């Protein structure tokens, strides 16, 4: 039987390693803890994002260009449909009490972001401007210098069987 302990790291591709290191270490305060020079001239750097988890980046001088609307979001956070097999966004777990400070820090650093905490709920719109008992996650969305959509997410409730209420859709049948 396979038994995992969680996510070790996620590996993404950046356009400029120096710019990426500055953003993740100085803006997001994620320490750089390992660097690798690849035999093909590329680099692979690892950042500590808390809780024993890491985010890593590859860089190659000749990497293909980004493809917004295909492999990354076109315009965050509400035109977020991406291609099958792509990474849509990366959410970092955060205490709810830290979300307002995160908004301030992103603004200070000049990072484009949602200018309010979004309250995700089960309403038809999927979020509420106000906090209420049906909110299950509160989020702040922003993008890094590579156009990767990131999220600070604070879970606000414990989930139970009632939270699994939808049949999975199939490409073979209408949703």
Tell me the H-state helices in 34-145: 99-108
pLDDT-derived band of residue 44, with 50, 70 and 90 as boundaries?
A: very high
Judged against a pLDDT cut of 70, whether residue 32 lies above it is answered with yes
Is the confidence at residue 21, as pLDDT, over 90?
yes
Q: Are 77 and 149 in contact (CB under 8 A)?
A: yes
pLDDT band, residue 170 (cuts 50/70/90)? confident
Give pLDDT, residue 87. 87
Alpha-carbon distance 72 to 86, whole Å? 7
pLDDT in the model for residue 138: 94
* CA distances, 57 to each of 82, 92, 93, 141, 162 (Å): 20, 16, 19, 20, 38
Say if pTM beats, i.e. exceeds, 0.75: yes
Kindly state the average pLDDT of the residues 141-154: 92
CATH: 3.10.180.10, 3.40.50.300, 3.10.20.30, 3.40.50.880. Which one for 1-61?
A: 3.10.180.10
Structural domain boundaries in the chain:
1-61, 81-159
For position 4, what pLDDT does the model report? 74
pLDDT at res. 90: 93
What sections of the chain are H helices per DSSP? 17-22, 99-108
pLDDT at 94: 93
Over residues 63-103, the pLDDT tens digits come to 998 888 888 887 666 677 787 788 888 999 999 999 999 99
Q: Is the pLDDT confidence value at 127 over 80?
A: yes
Fold assignment, 81-159: 2,3-Dihydroxybiphenyl 1,2-Dioxygenase; domain 1 (3.10.180)
């Amino acid at each position: 039987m396979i038994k995992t302990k969680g996510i070790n790291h996620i590996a993404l591709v950046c356009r400029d390693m120096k710019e990426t290191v500055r953003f993740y270490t100085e803006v997001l305060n994620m320490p750089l803890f390992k660097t690798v020079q690849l035999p093909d001239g590329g680099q692979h750097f690892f950042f500590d994002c808390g809780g024993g988890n890491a985010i890593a980046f590859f860089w190659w001088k000749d990497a293909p260009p980004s493809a917004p609307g295909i492999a990354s979001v076109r315009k965050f956070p509400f035109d977020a449909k991406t291609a099958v097999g792509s990474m849509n966004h990366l959410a970092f777990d955060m205490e709810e009490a830290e979300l307002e400070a995160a908004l301030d820090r992103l603004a200070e650093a000049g990072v484009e972001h949602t200018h309010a905490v979004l309250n995700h709920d089960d309403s038809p719109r999927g979020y509420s401007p106000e906090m209420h008992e049906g909110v299950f996650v509160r989020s702040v969305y922003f993008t890094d210098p590579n156009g990767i959509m990131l999220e600070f997410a604070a879970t606000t409730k414990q989930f139970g069987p009632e939270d699994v209420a939808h049949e999975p859709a199939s490409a073979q049948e209408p949703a």
